[in-house]
């Protein structure tokens, strides 16, 4: 019974719509009505700017971190990643925002921040490397997940391999529209990550 309650609590944590809260409380804007309509950090950056984008992204990461830490905090014999998955589901399909949330990237990263901090750091570095090269946030997110799978294989940690693989597949699925736009060369690129100020 306690395990089910833990899953529900993790889902509710993930369901907290950071983008919606920051947009409405701080800016009087519903970001679902702007940009991609997504509640994640990327759309917040594009719609409300760097400060709001950072707040939302960090909040979404910490939702996953807190959810993954619940078994330790409450002394329940469950794998942190297993509990954390429910926060990712909550972030993507939040009960507090009509089940329309983010694309699972930041909250998924939050699980790793708790359970595999070194892996988390290297994935962030890989993400920014790909972002610097391609200027596509969506592509960088998906490739960071693929990198995570490769990294996990060297750990020989079966639960980690399974979870990171499932999360990467889910992230790619959530970005299927972005993939089409990348192929059509209509996907927006970040404009700030460049040494050339004229770009």
pLDDT tens digit sequence for 132-168: 999 999 999 999 999 999 999 999 999 999 999 999 9
Domain ranges, residue 114: 2-183
| Residue 193: predicted pLDDT | 56
**pLDDT of the residue at 165:** 97
**What's residue 103's pLDDT?**
92
Q: Does residue 37 sit within a domain? A: yes
Kindly state whether residue 195 falls inside one of the protein's structural domains.
Answer: no
In 3D space, the residue among 104, 96, 90, 83 whose CA is nearest the CA of residue 40 turns out to be 104
199 belongs to a structural domain: no
Which pLDDT belongs to residue 60? 97
The residue ranges of the chain whose pLDDT is under 50 are 195-199
Look at residue 195 in the predicted model and tell me its pLDDT.
45
- What total of structural domains would you count in the chain? 1
Whether residue 196 is contained in a domain is answered as: no
In whole angstroms, what is the distance from residue 30 CA to residue 107 CA?
Answer: 21
Cα separation, 174 vs 101, whole angstroms: 11
Q: Which residues have C-beta within 8 Å of that of residue 141, sequence separation ≥ 6?
A: 103, 105, 127, 171, 175
* pLDDT for res 1: 83
| Closest by CA position to 122, among listed 130, 31, 137 | 130
User: Is 110:60 a contact under the CB 8 Å cutoff?
Assistant: yes
Q: Is residue 194 part of a domain?
A: no
How far is Cα 90 from Cα 139, in angstroms, rounded to an integer? Answer: 23
Cα 130–chain centre separation: 16
Give pTM, 2 decimals.
0.90
E-strand stretches of the chain: none
In a domain, 197, yes or no: no
Burial of 28 (0-12, 13-18, 19+ CB in 10 A): exposed
Q: Is residue 70 part of a domain?
A: yes
In a domain, 31, yes or no: yes
């Amino acid at each position: 019974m306690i395990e089910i309650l833990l899953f529900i609590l993790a889902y509710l944590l993930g369901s907290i719509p950071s983008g919606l809260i920051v947009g409405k409380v701080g800016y009087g804007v519903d970001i679902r009505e702007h940009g991609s309509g997504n509640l994640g950090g990327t759309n917040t950056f594009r719609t409300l700017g760097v400060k709001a984008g950072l707040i939302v992204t960090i909040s979404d990461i910490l939702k996953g971190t807190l959810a993954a830490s619940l078994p330790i905090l409450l002394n329940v014999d469950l794998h942190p990643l297993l509990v954390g998955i429910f926060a990712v589901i909550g972030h993507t399909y939040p009960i507090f925002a009509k089940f329309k949330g983010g694309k699972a990237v930041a909250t998924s990263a939050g699980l790793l921040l708790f359970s595999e901090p070194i892996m988390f750091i290297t994935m962030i570095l890989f993400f920014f490397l790909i972002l610097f090269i391609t200027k596509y946030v969506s592509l960088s997110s998906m490739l960071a997940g693929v990198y995570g799978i490769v990294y996990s294989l060297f750990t020989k940690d079966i639960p980690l391999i399974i979870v990171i693989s499932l999360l990467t597949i889910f992230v790619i699925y959530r970005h299927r529209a972005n993939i089409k736009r990348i192929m059509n060369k209509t996907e927006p690129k970040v404009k700030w990550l460049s040494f050339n100020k004229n770009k």
